[in-house]
Amino acid sequence: MIIIGERINGMFRDIAKAIREKDPKPVQEWAQKQEAMGAGYLDLNVGPAVPERVPAMKWLVEVAQEASKLPLCLDSTDYDAIEAGLEVCKQPAMINSVPAIADKMDRVFTLAQKFDAEVIGLAMSEEGIPKDAESRVALSMELVANCDAYGVPVDRLYIDPLVLPANVGQDHGPEVFETLRQIKLLSDPPPKTTVGLSNISQGTKNRELLNRTFAVMAMACGLDSAIADACDEELVAAVATARVILNMDIYCDSYVDVFRNQNL
Ligand code: THG
């Protein structure tokens, strides 16, 4: 499972302040730290409080790619901000995200085609997030069909079944796992999958244990990636361990790497 480092997000106070004051240092430190911990992408989200999202996203992209070679995952509901970010990305990026709503899919898949970007598609519609796996899978199929129709290779689509906090949506958990399993049957090649891992533990105690346990259970259902806390060593160790148990590496490569780096 690839970790998309979640930390460069204006939801965190240090990043909100850095964006406000145009101070590259916190962004670049988190970029380097997450890369060193083995993240495969950096999620960039300007956060809820920024008045001008377009220049803020452009600045985040420019600043992050000075500090890290990782591909970027541009996280915004404002597609003008996504487009401004894509224009300054030096390598193909990931667009986070698009729901199964026609005009939004039109805008995002057109951008993806133009900029050779990957896309995160959300299993939700105008009516919101359905509870049952069947409806989430039906929305996933709409995302797959549109992705293909706009000429974006389906293996560049990451479907996110949408994880809700366990304290408000405990009944969604099993539906998310079932959705992850069924997504792999939708097409050949199938789309990839992702989740916002830390969502599961928002507002709960013992957050890391919830995140880690959810991650390994979802990996057993075929989860390919997660927007997650790349700096949680226990999570990184659990993911490496699950890769061995699921027979995903020859010679336990990821296991050896992680435990050598962590001196465990
Ligand atoms: N799916 C997709 N993208 C996403 C999400 C998703 N992007 C945003 C989010 N969800 C994933 N990223 C985070 C980042 C941080 C937290 C949760 C998810 C988090 N933050 C602390 C909190 O809310 O308690 C903030 C703590 C602080 O302020 O210091 O948990 O689902 N495609």
What's the rounded mean pLDDT across residues 218-244?
A: 97
Average of per-residue pLDDT across 214-241: 97
**Can you tell me the distance from the alpha carbon of 99 to that of 124, in angstroms, rounded to the nearest whole number?**
5
Domains along the chain with CATH numbers: 1-34+46-91 (no CATH), 95-231 (3.20.20.20)
Ligand 1 lined by 232 (C-beta under 6 Å) = no
What separation in Å is there between the alpha carbon of 198 and the centre of ligand 1? 6
Residue 228 alpha carbon to ligand 1 centre in Å: 8
Amino acid 251: pLDDT? 73
Report the separation in Å between the CA atom of 118 and the middle of ligand 1, taken as the mean of its atom positions.
Answer: 20
Q: What is the pLDDT of residues 174-219, one digit of tens each?
A: 999 999 999 999 999 999 999 999 999 999 999 999 999 999 999 9
Q: Whole-number mean pLDDT of the chain?
A: 96
Reported as a pLDDT band with limits 50, 70 and 90, residue 264 is: low
Measured CA distances, 134 to 64, 225, 234 (Å): 39, 22, 33
Residue 118: exposure state from Cβ atoms within 10 A (0-12, 13-18, ≥19): buried
CA of 99 to the centre of ligand 1 (A): 18
Q: Is the pLDDT of residue 154 over 60?
A: yes
Instruction: State the Cα–Cα distance between residues 247 and 192, nearest whole angstrom.
Output: 18
Residue nearest to atom 5 of ligand 1 (CA): 196
Ligand 1 geometric centre to CA of 153 (Å): 28
DSSP alpha helices (H): ranges in 68-165? 79-88, 102-115, 133-149
The CB density around residue 38, as the number of other CB atoms within 10 Å, is 17
Q: Which of 11, 44, 45, 77 to mutate to test the pocket of ligand 1 (most atoms within 8 A of CB)?
A: 11
Instruction: For residue 252, report the distance from its CA to the centre of ligand 1, in Å.
Output: 31
CB 194 within 8 A of CB 225: yes
* Beta-bridge mates of residue 118: 94
Q: What is the best residue among 9, 120, 207, 214 to mutate for testing ligand 1's pocket, by most ligand atoms within 8 Å of CB?
A: 9
Beta bridge partners of 137: none
How many CA atoms within 13 Å lie on the side-chain side of 212? Answer: 15
Q: What is the pTM of this model?
A: 0.97
Sign of the Cα torsion 46, 51, 53, 58 reads: negative
The C-alpha atoms of residue 140 and residue 162 are separated, in whole angstroms, by: 11
DSSP state of 103: H
pLDDT tens-digit readout, 63-72: 999 999 999 9
- Distance between CA 161 and CA 109 in Å, rounded? 18
The protein residue with its alpha carbon nearest to ligand 1, atom 25, reads 12
| 179 ligand 1 Cβ < 6 A | no
Name the residue type at position 210.
Answer: L
Could you tell me if the CB of 12 is within 6 A of ligand 1? yes
